[in-house]
A and B are shown apart, each in its own frame.
Chain A
């Protein structure tokens, strides 16, 4: 799981999380007790609203500037984010 989540964990953390996650998953397995046949999955809060409420005019407008977008980057240059070498030249 840690690999899938791109998380480096220490040996100590692996032991602790194995124990914690076991505990939590045992509790989560209780969901099997409840009958949900015929129930629609709820991904988002639902209430009555106009359907067009989320649409706006399709016009271009100013966005965060390149300078602002890079301001928090640990490494940047020439207007780009810099990352470790991906492809050998």
Chain B
């Protein structure tokens, strides 16, 4: 079996034709994942027991002639900020090195109910804070396309395992681009659904008003199938949406003639690079497919970075207050008093980027600065979301870059946090507005580095976004 290029349909066919059993597939995925991990460091934990028992259940269903579910036997990897009952979940943090959650995230429950086989938990930036996966306490992930380069972040591991082929699909999380940017850097499909489309129950909170769980896949269809499985109302997350979930993977008919696409001029000014050229040729392809292309404006874009980093750090500073040495495994050995326990546990447990963001968030929420920073940022967020509402009155979808540049070298940007933040400009706006957006591969640089093109759509319009992406994928493959 050629596991590294398998799709969900390929797994289904292989099982049906008895070319392999789900147990054999899980065993091969685990063997391959372990062998590849010395090259990429993409997995933090393997779930052998859980994978084999899930696979055995799929085989038993098949033997009884039952439908094993839309993900029956499919090897899946899960980002290590998403809780798995009984399987260590570190969030890429020293603080949670030994944390074993007492419950499963809703997305995990749903993907296992659909027959998915979780092979392992993937490396990520600490508490999903970063754009390069270099902020993991367990070492950086290496990009499978170029081992001296980052895979992107924060869901770097989840992108890398799909690119290297040790999992067919994976779950990541996105707060400011953490699914789309690594998808772009690793050359896979990555989807950030509408805010509330997927339950956040069991997703470790970073910035609650911006956090999303979403899928990675090697194809648009696989990503669409996985989203269809995990999406939908969950009473454990009051922000999860009740809107019905269409069969996304059944709507990929390839017809995109007459679809109106907007190109936000603020995203393309100054994008003179190989990335810009690849996106331009992607747009040309969409034009040939019959899409109508027009210029649009998202005038508040210049303020998005400042707005995002105020809101996300403010929310992070309160969400991360719970890691105080009482409940979550790590307590500083130097805890002579309650306040020393708090300070030392957090000082020793958190890495530099988490500390920086906790400090910033504390500052923008503090008395005297709240109105100038936090409240102002919330108003600017309203303007940014309003820009998209106006745009979607005119167009069906928006095309944009994902990142201003392809995967950079490990170590290249880690000492300049502001420069790292600025590179998130094209992805954070979608999170601030809560609209669905995705990265779809659109070619490689002369040096062989993958580049993704971003598609953004209106709230709950994932089906149209997938249809566009599938037509594009078919045309460019």
A contacts, CB < 8 Å to B = 1-2, 4-10, 13, 16-17, 20-21, 23-25, 27-34, 36, 39-47, 49-50, 53-54, 56, 64-65, 68-69, 71-75, 81, 83-86
Contact = CB atoms under 8 A, between A and B. Distances in A.
A75 B209 contact: no
Interface string B415-459: 001100100000000000110000000000000000000000001
A54 B236 CA distance: 10
B238 to A, nearest CB: 4
A51 to B, nearest CB: 11
Interface in B348-389: 348, 350, 352, 355-356, 358-360, 362-364, 366, 372-373, 375-383, 385
13 contacts: A8-B346, A23-B417, A29-B306, A31-B373, A42-B382, A42-B385, A43-B378, A47-B460, A69-B102, A74-B325, A81-B327, A83-B326, A84-B341
A6 B337 contact: no
B117 to A, nearest CB: 25
B310 A28 contact: yes
B433 to A, nearest CB: 7
B183 to A, nearest CB: 22
B355 A45 contact: no
B347 interface: yes
Contacts of B364: 28
Given A6-B339, A20-B417, A31 B376 contact: yes
Given A21-B363, A30-B306, A83-B326, A75 B331 contact: yes
Contacts of B408: none
Contacts of A50: 242
A47 B434 contact: yes
B434 A45 contact: yes
Contact of B343 (A8, A42, A47, A72): A8
A19 B194 CA distance: 36
Contact of A40 (B98, B194, B382): B382
B437 to A, nearest CB: 13
Contacts of A86: 338
B46 interface: no
A17 B382 contact: no
A56 B460 CA distance: 23
Interface of B: 98-100, 102-103, 194-196, 209, 233, 235, 238-239, 241-243, 300, 302-303, 305-307, 309-310, 317, 321, 324-331, 335-344, 346-348, 350, 352, 355-356, 358-360, 362-364, 366, 372-373, 375-383, 385, 417-418, 421, 433-434, 459-460
A82 B464 CA distance: 53
Given A29-B306, A45-B433, 13 more contacts: A6-B324, A7-B355, A13-B355, A30-B303, A39-B382, A42-B382, A47-B196, A53-B241, A56-B235, A68-B103, A84-B336, A84-B341, A86-B338
A17 B359 contact: yes
Interface centre among A10, A54, A84 (most CB of B within 10 A): A84
A17 B329 contact: no
A66 to B, nearest CB: 11
A64 B103 contact: yes
Contacts of A5: 317, 346, 358-359, 362
B356 A17 contact: yes
A56 B235 CA distance: 8
Given A6-B343, A81-B327, A54 B310 contact: no
Contacts of A75: 331
Contacts of A4: 362, 366
Contacts of A7: 343, 346-347, 350, 355, 358-359
Which of A1, A68, A85: most chain B CB closer than 10 A? A1
Nearest to B327: A73
B305 A9 contact: no
A84 B338 contact: yes
A71 B380 CA distance: 43
Contact of B360 (A24, A31, A54): A24
A83 B341 contact: yes
B210 to A, nearest CB: 8
Contacts of B317: 5
Q: Which 7 pairs across A and B sit closest by C-beta, in order of nearness?
A: A45-B434, A8-B347, A41-B378, A68-B102, A36-B379, A74-B331, A42-B382
A22 B414 CA distance: 17
B416 to A, nearest CB: 8
Q: Which of A21, A42, A50, A85 has the most CB of B within 10 A?
A: A42
Nearest to A22: B418
A1 B302 CA distance: 28
A30 B372 CA distance: 11
B242 A64 contact: no
Contact of B346 (A6, A41, A47, A71): A6
Given A7-B346, A28-B306, A84-B341, A39 B383 contact: yes
A82 B64 CA distance: 51
Contacts of B196: 45, 47
A16 B356 CA distance: 10
A71 B89 CA distance: 14
A44 B208 CA distance: 9
Contact of A1 (B306, B343, B363): B363
